[in-house]
């Protein structure tokens, strides 16, 4: 039996039915691991309540007074079904133990992670309202609740951030090479440790980069790009935003070498491409856009119109060879 965390959160807020409470009780009885998951979910719920406004707190108190009788019925339903001592379940709601734990520990134990497979693009809304477009073959980690004096996330791969402004709590994107300190903005980050590749393009606002090794800091203004090349960070103008059309399902080949474009094809189409040509073909288009949904073969056929290469698909190895 599986229980969705939303059901647990509804229980903590006294919003579920007695039938749902019975389901929860049976699930709790199945294993100690389920009980630990229940406790962890409640920890996250408690931390989230610490960020209610005074008006919201007053509203919760009023609702609590009206629902105390209903809460007791729900707790009894869980206890009777699961065979758990009433004191244990009631402890989740009335014990000061959960409130006196270090909040930092609760948040640290409640890290969320989201990974995209090759060919998958996802939009995620973080707990503070920040919107993240996560590119294919990328991963982001963030706390269930942003607590403390900063909002810190970790990124591997590529993402576009549209950060919710909060001058009292800076937003920080941590990558393998640089930490990006956000001052209220929209920007793209590519961080691929295995290729020693880092770049960030600033569309709106300001950001500051901090080298994780040397501690050097560089502040960027709108319409600039920072790229790590040959051991140095290079700043240039953001003259073309076609590179970021992947959020609309479009690959741009503008300014790319053939091998770099094939790397993008691998990421967006979830295929393996092996180059077996003696010299890299030239991309004849000045500004080529390819719709991802049209498929890998359509993309390759479009390139063939102006580039000197052929390709073959090896079904036994599931590899596309470029000749």
CATH number for the domain that contains residue 173: 2.60.120.1440
Would you state the pLDDT for residue 135?
94
| Per-residue confidence (pLDDT) for residue 78, from 0 to 100 | 52
pLDDT of the residue at 29: 76
- Which residues share a beta bridge with 131? 125, 162
Q: Are residues 201 and 114 in the same domain?
A: yes
Q: Which of 105, 133, 152 is the last residue of a domain?
A: 105
Who's near 67: CB < 8 A, 6+ residues apart? 14
148 and 232 assigned to the same domain:
yes
pLDDT given at position 90? 41
What CATH number should be reported for the domain holding residue 291?
3.55.50.30
Say if residue 92 is in the same domain as residue 135: no
pLDDT of amino acid 92: 45
Which of 149, 85, 151, 169 lies closest to 112, judged by CA? 151
Same domain, 148 and 186: yes
Secondary structure E strands in the chain: 111-115, 122-125, 131-134, 139-143, 151-162, 171-174, 178-182, 186-192, 197-204, 207-211, 217-220, 224-229, 232-237, 250-252, 272-275, 289-291, 311-314, 319-322
Q: Are residues 86 and 10 in the same domain?
A: yes
DSSP 127: T
pTM, entire model: 0.65
Residues 231 and 251 in one domain: no
Stretches in the chain below the pLDDT threshold 70 = 1, 13-14, 43-110, 214
Domain stop point among 208, 237, 266 = 237
Out of 214, 237, 260, pick the residue that ends a domain: 237
Q: Check whether residue 119 and residue 100 sit in a common domain.
A: no
**258 and 208 share a domain?**
no
How many domains is the chain partitioned into structurally?
A: 3
Tell me what pLDDT residue 103 has. 43
Q: What local confidence, expressed as pLDDT, does residue 62 receive?
A: 53
The answer to whether residues 250 and 186 belong to one domain is no
Which structural domain range is residue 318 located in?
246-322
Whether 176 and 272 map to the same domain: the answer is no
CA dist 54 and 88 (Å) reads 30
272: β partners: 319
Distance, in Å, from the CA atom of 118 to the CA atom of 136, rounded to the nearest integer, reads: 5
151 and 218, same structural domain? yes
Handedness of CA 89, 94, 100, 105 (dihedral sign): positive
Same domain, 71 and 152: no
pLDDT of residue 47: 57
Report DSSP letters for 145-173, one per residue: S--SS-EEEEEEEEEEEEPPP-TTS-EEE
């Amino acid at each position: 039996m599986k229980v969705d965390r939303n059901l647990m959160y509804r229980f903590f807020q006294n919003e579920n039915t007695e039938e749902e409470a019975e389901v929860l009780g049976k699930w709790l009885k199945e294993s100690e691991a389920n009980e630990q998951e229940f406790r962890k979910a409640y920890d996250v719920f408690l931390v989230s309540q610490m960020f209610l406004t005074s008006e919201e707190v007053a509203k919760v108190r009023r609702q609590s007074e009206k629902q105390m009788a209903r809460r007791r019925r729900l707790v009894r339903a869980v206890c009777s079904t699961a065979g758990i001592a009433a004191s244990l379940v009631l402890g989740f709601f009335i014990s000061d133990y959960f409130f006196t734990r270090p909040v930092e520990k609760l948040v640290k134990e409640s890290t969320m992670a989201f990974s995209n497979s090759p060919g998958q693009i996802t939009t995620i809304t973080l707990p503070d309202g920040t919107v993240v477009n996560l590119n294919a073959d990328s991963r982001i980690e963030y706390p269930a609740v942003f607590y403390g004096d900063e909002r810190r996330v970790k990124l591997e791969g590529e993402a576009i951030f549209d950060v919710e402004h909060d001058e009292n709590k800076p937003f920080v994107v941590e990558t393998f090479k640089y930490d990006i300190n956000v001052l209220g903005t929209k920007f793209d980050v590519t961080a691929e440790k295995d290729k020693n590749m880092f770049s960030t393009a600033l569309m709106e606002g300001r950001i500051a980069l901090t080298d994780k090794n040397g501690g050097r800091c560089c502040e960027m203004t709108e319409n600039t790009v920072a790229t790590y090349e040959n051991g140095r960070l290079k700043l240039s103008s953001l003259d073309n935003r076609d590179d970021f059309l992947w959020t609309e399902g479009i690959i741009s080949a503008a300014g790319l070498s053939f091998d770099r474009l094939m790397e993008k094809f691998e990421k967006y189409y979830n295929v393996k491409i092996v180059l077996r040509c003696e010299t890299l073909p030239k991309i004849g288009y000045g500004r080529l856009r390819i719709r991802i949904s049209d498929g890998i073969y359509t993309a390759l056929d479009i390139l063939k119109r102006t580039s000197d290469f052929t390709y073959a698909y090896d079904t036994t190895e599931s590899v596309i060879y470029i000749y």
